[in-house]
Amino acid sequence: MTGKKAVLNVTVSESVAETVRRIAALEGTTISSVVERALADEVRWELKRREGLAAIDEYYREHGYPTPEEMAEAEARVAEEHRLIDEARAELAAQRQHGGGAGSSDAASAPEVSGAHGSDGDPGAA
């Protein structure tokens, strides 16, 4: 990354420090480069998240906030989608365990589960 550099003193857990050292060694680069890249990625993500929340809030201010009934309905739809995804994943796992899966005759009837992410607000899931 180019440009003028600033010095930041940070304290991290020893396990994070060891992981950063290991990545730097594997990449043949400096610890600073690894930390800078990771921090830049996290900062970009945080800015996007905040911009998204601001856009949602602006929309609600313009169009009104959802009623408790609308929120309950939306939460029920999301819960049903999660249930269907979990069901499809379980079915695919069972097929794989019993020799089914890609290339088998059962694969054509298997539900497609693409683009599904974990729940609970995990950043890789959003």
pLDDT tens-digit profile of 66-109? 999 999 999 999 999 999 999 999 999 999 998 865 554 444 45
Number of domains in the chain: 1
Q: Is there a domain that residue 6 lies in?
A: no
Q: Which two tokens stand for residue 78?
A: 């999301």
Q: Is there a domain that residue 21 lies in?
A: yes
Confidence of residue 1 (pLDDT cuts 50, 70, 90): low
Q: Is there a domain that residue 120 lies in?
A: no
**pTM of the shown model:** 0.55
Structure confidence at residue 60 (pLDDT) = 96
The residue segments making up the domain with residue 87 are: 14-100
Q: Is there a domain that residue 1 lies in?
A: no
Q: Is there a domain that residue 113 lies in?
A: no
Q: Is there a domain that residue 124 lies in?
A: no
* Cα separation, 76 vs 67, whole angstroms: 14
pLDDT of 117 > 60? The answer is no
pLDDT of 122 > 80? The answer is no
Q: Is there a domain that residue 59 lies in?
A: yes
Q: Is there a domain that residue 50 lies in?
A: yes
Q: Which two tokens stand for residue 92?
A: 């695919």
Residue 124, helix vs strand vs coil: coil
Residue 5, H or E segment: none
